[in-house]
Amino acid sequence: MLFFRQSRALATSFRTLATTATHPADVAKPRILVTGSLGQLGIGLVSLLRQKYGNENVIASDIRKPSPEIKAQGPYVFADVLNMQQLETIVVDNDINWIVNLSALLSAVGEQNIDKALAINMTGFTNTLELARRHQLRIMCPSTIGAFGPTTPRDLTPDLTIMRPTTVYGITKVHVELMGEYYAKRFGVDFRSLRYPGIISSDTEPGGGTTDYAVQIFHSALKEKSYKCYLGPETSLPMMYLPDCLEGTVDFLAAPNHLLKQRTYNMAAFSFNPREIAAKIKERIPEFEMTYAPDFRQAIADSWPKSLDDSKARQDWGWKNKFDLDAMTDDMLTALKSHHK
């Protein structure tokens, strides 16, 4: 009952995002809570947000113990997205304006832990979305190419198309998109989501996705001069270098509402398959050899797009990648050489 009274009050005090230019979360110096901040994307995103908005204004959080270096960089709290009361206390006590929810189980790990993936990716997300409604926050939760499925058109997949994913990860991300858009329309919540492709990073470990091979291959090329790939040679997937992903996400978070014509956007940089990335590495490390032993991740990759149409993100809020495949390959090898000396 209380829920419905509060909802009605909010519904009348907000107008929908489509008709209003400003939102209570449109603040120049936001206080930001990042959940799942110790993962592949979170460490770099927190650091970039702190450069833009100030160290003290970005609260990092996760359910893991941070390293002393991470702790020294700025505020860190323990936050489990499944614990609504704990999350709400953090939001209220820290005057949070924006939540970036990065907590998730990714595609390959999710297939091995269905219950946990459903809990973290759906219940955990719903908790943060509900907090955004109660406290008039901006909320950003990434989606993925994994939200598409085998019946989706696979080349230059548009923003709006068939979405019948065949992994638990994909199903939970369709839930994120639909519930976020529902809360935006119904309650005026400033929900935003980007469908990331596979993300390639030099300084953080990937968390168990189907595209992790594109990071592992660089480490193996430098260490062992060889790599056994769990996807077949012709499996093309959309990919992006982490610095582009992070800069784009910071820009998207800061974009004024009137520029956003939709709440969920495709975001892409380039596509390649294992044979093509192996060839790029071989141009730079001639001894490198690739072998192939496809496992259960092949079926997941085969259900995903080969390339994305992200023209709406480019038009509406100015998304632009800096790194292409060659620039990313050079940068990865340079950055990783010091790790493998």
Interacting residue ranges for ligand NAD, rule: CB under 6 A: 35-36, 38-42, 62-64, 80-82, 102-104, 106, 120, 124, 142, 144, 196, 198-199, 206-207, 209, 211
Q: Of 188 and 274, which CB lies nearer to ligand NAD in the complex structure?
A: 274
CB of 256 to ligand NAD, least distance (A): 23
In terms of CB distance, is 122 or 285 closer to ligand NAD? 122
DSSP letter, residue 57:
G
What's the min distance (Å) between Cβ of 245 and ligand NAD? 8
Q: Taking the CB of residue 227, how many other CB atoms lie within 10 A of it?
A: 23
Q: Report the distance separating Cα 301 and Cα 291, nearest Å.
A: 18
Closer residue to ligand NAD in complex, CB, 14/194: 194
Q: At what angle do helices 168-187 and 2-13 cross, to 10 degrees?
A: 60
Helix orientation angle between 2-13 and 125-135, rounded to the nearest 10 degrees: 60
Minimum Å distance from CB 118 to ligand NAD?
Answer: 12
CB closer to ligand NAD out of 190 and 212:
212
Which amino acid belongs to residue 252?
F
What distance lies between CA 246 and its chain's CA centroid? 9
- Any residues with CB less than 8 A from the CB of 332 and at least 6 apart, and which? 200, 202, 218, 241
We find the least distance from the C-beta atom of residue 143 to ligand NAD, in angstroms, to be 7
For residue 195, the SS3 value is: strand
Q: Which C-beta is closer to ligand NAD: that of 14 or that of 242?
A: 242
Q: Say which amino acid occupies 281.
A: I
> 3-state class of 206 per DSSP?
coil
Burial class (CB in 10 A: 0-12, 13-18, 19+), 28: exposed
Describe the chain by its helix, strand, coil percentages, rounded to 5: 45, 15, 40
For ligand NAD, the closer of residues 106 and 179 by Cβ is: 106
The least CB distance from residue 44 to ligand NAD, in Å, is 9
Pairing of strands 270-272, 237-241: antiparallel
Point out the residues that are catalytic.
Answer: 169
Nearest Cα residue to 188 out of 42, 322, 8: 8
Q: Which amino acid is at 230?
A: Y
Q: Cα 71 from chain centroid?
A: 23
Q: Are 81 and 103 in contact (CB under 8 A)?
A: yes
Least distance between ligand NAD and beta carbon 28 (Å): 26
Q: Which residue is nearest to ligand NAD (CB)?
A: 39
Task: Give me the least distance between CB of 46 and ligand NAD, in Å please.
Answer: 11
Q: Which uninterrupted H or E stretch holds 297?
A: helix 297-302
Would you say 44 or 188 has its CB closer to ligand NAD? 44
